């Protein structure tokens, strides 16, 4: 069941993403009021009626974020700056205050105010902190950065080699394809399209039209290496690291839950001991409790030898053993 806190946080974040968009449209219409037609002026007037409550709500939400920031820093200032999500929240809060530091009535500052208002949509990312699943996913992506960089470096080296080959083979301005292979930059962009297998048939058709039939081998080899090997290796590394991180987080959560149960049981035992002042330890209480047991008291035990089916079978075996002994003694008396 979704809690009220989650619904409130989600509404606040959606508003913080929607409010800058409305403000951008407001800035677009109000940039030059002197050249507006009556229809545009009426539209601006209605837009002001809509934006005023949104701007008031924006100030309220900004005050809530500021209060949250001040309380967190006051409670534990050192631990606050060690948390990456908290540092990100502080940066987003700083960006949220920037539009209020400039004169938005100045036409020269309109573009700057528009850009700063657009950055306020980053406040939606605060949802990551309140969702354990997204937090684990972001932490896993952070841990995969090292392995991913190695894969990207290898892919870059492969693209660099094939870019030089492609530029030398098909980059001739007269007989080749200078648009896609004329420069190293164009060759890199073309190879990136081949890595993602996006529009590679059009690129190959362009080379076929220029009688470069051997380019099919070049294209197939690069797609096999770039897409099927390195690109899928990149995806595999990310998935494996995320699975390991999720498994570690689940194991840590299970251990934490077990520790919580043990701690709660220990507290319950300590409460029982505190209520019985005549006993110093739990063992003394158990020993004294055993003395109060009678042979007729029912006792539930977990061992198999104390179960009722086993006792019934055991008594039956004893009866048969006694009968066998009596028969053996009778035979001995007959022999004598």
Tens digit of each residue's pLDDT (9 = 90 or more) over 286-326: 677 667 766 666 655 566 666 777 777 888 888 888 888 88
What is the C-alpha to C-alpha distance for residues 249 and 136, in angstroms, rounded to an integer? 8
pLDDT band at 41 (very low <50, low <70, confident <90, very high): low
pLDDT band at 24 (very low <50, low <70, confident <90, very high): very low
Block residue for tokens 């209520």? 275
Q: Which of 187, 189, 196 shows the shortest CA–CA distance to 215?
A: 187
Query: Which of 1.10.287.70, 3.60.15.10, 1.20.120.1770, 3.90.700.10 would CATH assign to domain 131-295?
Result: 1.10.287.70
DSSP string, 169-183: HH--TTTS-HHHHSS
* 184-195 vs 215-223: helix crossing angle, rounded to 10: 60
pLDDT at 296: 67
Query: Which of 1.10.3470, 1.10.10, 1.20.1740, 1.20.120 would CATH assign to domain 4-130?
Result: 1.20.120
Stretch 228-252: mean pLDDT = 84
Q: In percent, how much of the chain has pLDDT > 90?
A: 6
pLDDT, tens digit, for every residue of 120-146?
777 777 777 677 777 777 777 777 777
**244 versus 13: which is more confidently predicted?**
244
What is the C-alpha to C-alpha distance for residues 187 and 168, in angstroms, rounded to an integer? 10
Residue 104 burial (10 A CB sphere; 0-12, 13-18, 19+): middle
81-90, 146-155, 180-189: the lowest-pLDDT one? 81-90
Q: In percent, how much of the chain has pLDDT > 70?
A: 70
Q: ∠ at Cα 84 (79, 88), nearest 5°?
A: 115
What is the C-alpha to C-alpha distance for residues 279 and 295, in angstroms, rounded to an integer? 25
* Structure tokens that stand for 325 in this block: 């002994």
* Runs of H (alpha helix) within the chain: 4-29, 38-75, 77-82, 84-97, 110-119, 127-130, 132-143, 145-170, 178-181, 184-195, 200-209, 215-223, 232-275, 282-291, 308-335
Question: How much is the mean pLDDT over the chain?
Answer: 75
pLDDT band at 161 (very low <50, low <70, confident <90, very high): very high
pLDDT at 77: 83
pLDDT, tens digit, for every residue of 45-103?
555 556 667 677 777 877 888 888 888 888 888 888 887 778 878 888 888 787 777 77
- The pTM (predicted TM-score) of the whole model is 0.51
1-10, 104-113, 178-187, 251-260: the lowest-pLDDT one? 1-10
pLDDT at 32: 47
Do residues 151 and 45 make contact, with C-beta atoms less than 8 angstroms apart?
Answer: no
pLDDT(7) > 60: no
What is the C-alpha to C-alpha distance for residues 30 and 277, in angstroms, rounded to an integer? 79
pLDDT band at 177 (very low <50, low <70, confident <90, very high): confident
Q: Which of 226, 243, 232, 227 shows the shortest CA–CA distance to 141?
A: 243
């Amino acid at each position: 069941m979704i809690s009220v806190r989650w619904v409130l946080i989600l509404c606040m974040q959606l508003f913080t993403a929607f409010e800058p968009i409305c403000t951008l449209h407001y800035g677009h219409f109000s940039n030059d009021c002197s050249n507006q037609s009556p229809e545009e002026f009426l539209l601006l007037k209605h837009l002001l009626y809509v934006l005023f409550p949104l701007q008031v709500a924006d100030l309220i939400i900004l005050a809530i974020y500021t209060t949250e920031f001040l309380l967190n820093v006051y409670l534990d200032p050192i631990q606050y700056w060690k948390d990456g999500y908290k540092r990100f929240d502080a940066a987003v809060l700083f960006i949220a205050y920037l539009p209020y530091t400039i004169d938005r009535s100045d036409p020269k500052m309109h573009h700057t105010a528009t850009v700063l208002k657009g950055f306020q949509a980053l406040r939606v990312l605060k949802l990551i902190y309140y969702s354990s699943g997204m937090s684990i996913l972001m932490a896993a992506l952070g841990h995969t950065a090292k392995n991913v960089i190695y894969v990207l470096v290898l892919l870059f080296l492969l693209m660099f080699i094939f870019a030089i080959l492609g530029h030398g083979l098909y980059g001739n301005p007269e007989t080749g394809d200078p648009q896609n292979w004329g420069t190293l930059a164009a060759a890199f962009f073309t190879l990136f399209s081949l890595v993602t297998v996006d529009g590679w048939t059009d690129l190959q058709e362009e080379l076929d039209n220029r009688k470069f039939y051997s380019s099919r081998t070049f294209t197939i080899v690069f797609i096999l290496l770039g897409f099927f090997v390195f690109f899928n290796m990149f995806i595999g590394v990310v998935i494996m690291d995320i699975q390991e991180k999720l498994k570690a987080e689940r194991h840590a959560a299970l251990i934490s839950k077990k520790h919580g149960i043990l701690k709660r049981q220990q507290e319950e035992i300590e409460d029982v001991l505190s209520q019985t002042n005549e006993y110093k330890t739990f063992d003394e209480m158990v020993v004294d409790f055993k003395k109060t047991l009678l042979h007729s008291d029912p006792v539930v035990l977990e061992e198999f030898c104390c179960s009722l089916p086993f006792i019934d079978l055991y008594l039956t075996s004893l009866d048969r053993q006694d009968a066998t002994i009596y028969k053996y003694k009778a035979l001995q008396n007959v022999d004598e």
